[in-house]
Structure 1
Amino acid sequence: MAHFPVNHPARPLYRVLAGLVGLYILLFGVWGTAETWGEGLFDRGSHWALGLRTNLAFSLVSVAFGIVLLIGASRRTNLGHYMNLTAGAVFLVTGTLMMAVLQTPANFLNFSMSTVIVSLLFGLVLLATGLYDKVGPADHAEAEDRRRRDPVPGSR
């Protein structure tokens, strides 16, 4: 079974990182929506926003995803933990799939290689933040701290 650290001391930093990723995605989505408004939903034109190629569909999905990530980063519960783990996996899978269809008509989100790289990078950042931002009762955190200092009880 997987073990996630509880009440990690750097948890505020991880929440800020997840919030910054969410903010970038939201700004990208808003800028991309403004840039591609009036075009076809899955148009494969040459529209760029914040250094990434986009179309209206990708921009609208990014607005929704950015809002969700900001909500998760603003909560001090395990909601952000689960959202970041899920979002990290989604970004990694999406980046890999879009890289596989980059130069084909199946590239319906109008990805470029820079978009793939940013998607994979954001996936790794969100996955890392999801691994370390779990919240639990103080006694769980104390028990984990004891385990960290003495992994094999009675070995000292």
Structure 2
Amino acid sequence: MPHLPVNHPARPLYRVLSGIIGLYILVFGVYGVFLTAGESLFARGSHWALGLRTNLAFSIVSVLFGAFLLIGASRRTNLGHYMNLTAGVVFLVTSIAMMSVLQTTANILNFSMSTVVVSMLFGLILLATGLYDKIGPPEHAEAEMRRRRHAVAEGNH
């Protein structure tokens, strides 16, 4: 069974990282909706917002996902943990899927290679934040600290 750290000391940093990513995606989506308003939902034009190519569908999805990530980052429960894990997997799968159809008419979100790279980076960061921002009762944190100290003590012999 995999071990996910509980009450990791850097948890606030991970929440800030996921919040920054969520804010960027939300701003990107709002700006993209503004740029592509009035066009077809799945248009394949040359609209760029904050360095990434977009269309109306991708912009609307980005607004929803940005809000989703900001909600997750603002929660001090394990809800943010699960939201970040889910978002990380969704970003990675979407970036790989869109990279595979980049030069075809199936590129319905109007991705460019730079959009694929940014989506992969965001997915990896969100997956990492999801792995390290799990919280638990104080007993779990104490048990984890004992396990770490025990592993360090065994390594010194």
TM-score by length of 1: 0.97
2:51 matches 1:51:
yes
Task: Write out the 4+ residue segments of structure 1 that deviate beyond 6 Å after TM superposition.
Answer: 152-156
Query: Which residue of 1 is the match for residue 105 of structure 2?
Result: 105
- 1:45-93 CA distances to partner (integer Å, 9 max, x unpaired)? 0111000000000000000000000000000000000000000000000
- Post-superposition shift, 1:2? 1.7
Within 5 Å, give how 1:1-156 maps onto structure 2: 1-151=1-151
Q: Which amino acid aligns with 1:65?
A: F
TM-score by length of 2: 0.96
Counterpart CA distance in 2 for 1:153 and 1:143 is 15
- Identity of matched residues, %: 76
**Structure 1 residue matching 2:48: 3-state secondary structure:** strand
- Post-superposition shift, 1:149? 1.1
- 1:12-45 CA distances to partner (integer Å, 9 max, x unpaired)? 0000000000000000000000000000000000
- Post-superposition shift, 1:151? 3.3
- Post-superposition shift, 1:126? 0.1
**Structure 2 residue matching 1:39: 3-state secondary structure:** coil
Q: Which amino acid aligns with 2:56?
A: L
